[in-house]
Structure 1
Amino acid sequence: MAGKKILVVDDDPKNIFALVATLRAKGFTTASANSAEEGIAILLRDTDIGLVLLDMMMPEMDGYQAISVIRAHDSLRSLPLVAVTAQAMKGDQEKCLEAGADAYISKPIDVELLLKTLTRYLN
């Protein structure tokens, strides 16, 4: 699964740290951003990003807005986006998928589910 980087976008540094540490321990290359705006800037300049783990609840620009901006770029339209959120209420998964996310993972993150999801979209 080497080759493509995983971009972690989350406004909480602790979440980024934990997710990046988990991914790197499993052999993945990562990049991270503290905001949706920073994540989009990275996506527009780094063609090695193969998948985005996107927090849906961020200040300024939330994950739903970020998905809309990302999908508006032809070069990013088919990039796998995985919504990561603490919102695990009925209907939240559907809302994320309808917004344009390819998959949905709730926090706290189930590492096995995360790895299955990454394998599915990076292969």
Structure 2
Amino acid sequence: MKKILIIDDDSRNIYALRLVLKAKGFEVLTATDAPAGIATLKAEKDVKVVLMDMMMPEMDGYEALSIIRKDPELVEIPVIAVTAQAMVGDREKCLAAGANGYVSKPIDVDVLLELLRTTIII
């Protein structure tokens, strides 16, 4: 089973994403802030992809991505940026920060599943 980690400070987003992904056969781990998400990534060696909210208090997704991309144990794990920021240039900013993909909120499930298909070959 493919394991996905959702890092998002909004429990409603986690709940909705978890329902959709579990229905598609994924095992879903969650973290409500970036430090907890990074700790989960270090503890769970078989996470196939991270869905990272980019706008979180304390440590945002950009800072978390920077930490993940500098860690030799985590650098290869694909990260998909999930954000309400959908202005011109936001996608490019996320990709430049180290994300492997980008999806805007509200999440179009078909777009997300296609991204997962191309990112982790589901």
TM-score by length of 1: 0.96
Cross-structure match for 1:70: 68
Q: Which amino acid aligns with 1:84?
A: V
Q: How many residues align?
A: 121
Q: CA deviation at 1:26?
A: 1.0
Cross-structure match for 1:55: 53
Runs of 4+ in 1 over 2 A off after TM superposition: none
Q: CA deviation at 1:4?
A: 2.7
Counterparts of 1:13-24 in structure 2, within 5 Å, are 13-24=11-22
Unmatched 5+ stretches in structure 2: none
TM-score by length of 2: 0.97
In 1, Cα distance between equivalents of 2:85 and 2:119: 23
Unmatched 5+ stretches in structure 1: none
In 2, Cα distance between equivalents of 1:120 and 1:31: 20
What is the aligned-residue identity percentage? 55
In 2, Cα distance between equivalents of 1:8 and 1:40: 11
Aligned-residue CA RMSD (Å): 0.7
Cross-structure match for 1:26: 24
